[in-house]
Structure 1
Amino acid sequence: MRSCVVCSGELTGNQRKYDSEECRKKQGRADWIANTYGITLEEWALIWAQQGECCAICKRKPRVKDDGTEETFHLDHEHRIKQAGPVRGILCPYCNTRLVGRLKSAERAQALADYLHQPPAVIALGRVVIAPGRPPKKRRVTRRRRA
């Protein structure tokens, strides 16, 4: 009797390794994480649990998509030599691409944090100045062209 390599379920007919599409996808993800990041799916789950099952930066939980599956979060790692570098944590797509993806070094991230906590304008002027913002745009009425 043959069994599925993921869930040990019974294989029937032409099934060779997996008894369902879900098992095939789970094994594919496990193989990809192992080859790309050098950790197992169980280690990924440990990191995820350590973070409280949310993004390590913004603390947002994964959203549920229309098809009932959860949004996929990214395993963040430092890019030292090409793609190689230490694994840091699991981030939501926004934090990984927009925040951390733009800050390549810890020094740059610290400089950004220092800038936000102690803005040069406040230090130079000795007070906080609130910008009034742009005035609202005037709406222009456009005429439709006749065909």
Structure 2
Amino acid sequence: MVPAKPRPAPHPGPRCATHHRAEKKRRKAAAHETYTQKTYGLGPGDYARLRELQGGRCAICRRATGATKALAVDHDHACCAGPVSCGNCVRGLLCSPCNRTLGHARDELDFFKRAYRYLKNPPARQLEVDP
């Protein structure tokens, strides 16, 4: 019997599809770790520890887990000028919608107080009371 030729690897490198996916996942995680360290001043493993501390969910809505898209590192923009954070102004991990909401509010507490009052007593309720 003639020995079978080795099947050519479907991806670059001498890997089967399963090992290719595992290597791709490992590289993506390593790149994300490097990014969070350089951009937000987090130490090695700090992102994972922060995520664990938050129960693996967005700190605000508590719904998003970051399974599809990694949770964003939220930090106080007033602390550091420029594209890189000092690391002391990191507040937590947020999903994209919650992070955008904070960004649009520009971290103004008054915005959230107004939003709370609006939700508790919407203006349309006054229409029902007035004759």
Same fold (TM over 0.5): yes
Q: Could you tell me which of 59, 65, 72 is aligned with 2:70?
A: 72
Amino acid across the alignment from 1:116: Y
Q: Determine the C-alpha separation between the residues in 2 that align with 1:31 and 1:61.
A: 23
Taking a change above 3 Å as real, the CA distance of residues 23 and 60 of structure 1, as seen in their structure-2 partners, is same
Give structure 1 stretches of 5+ with no counterpart.
1-11, 14-18, 65-69, 123-127, 132-147
Taking a change above 3 Å as real, the CA distance of residues 106 and 41 of structure 1, as seen in their structure-2 partners, is farther
**Residue equivalent to 2:126:** 129
- Answering whether residue 28 of structure 2 is matched by residue 25 of structure 1, we say yes
SS of 1:101's partner is: helix
1:40 shift after superposition:
3.0
Q: Could you tell me which of 86, 89, 92 is aligned with 1:89?
A: 92
Normalising by structure 1, we get a TM-score of 0.55
Contact 1:33 1:41 in 2 (8 A): no
Residues 54-97 of structure 1: CA deviation (Å, up to 9, x unaligned): 11111113375xxxxx3322111111124446111111111111
Give structure 2 stretches of 5+ with no counterpart.
1-12, 15-21
Q: Which has the larger radius of gyration?
A: 1
Bigger relative contact order, structure 1 or 2 (CA pairs below 8 A, ≥6 apart): 2
Structure 2 matches for 1:1-147, cutoff 5 A?
A: 20-62=23-65, 70-80=68-78, 81-83=81-83, 84=85, 86-97=89-100, 99-113=101-115, 115-116=117-118, 119=121, 128-129=125-126
Taking a change above 3 Å as real, the CA distance of residues 21 and 110 of structure 1, as seen in their structure-2 partners, is closer
Q: Determine the C-alpha separation between the residues in 1 that align with 2:33 and 2:44.
A: 5
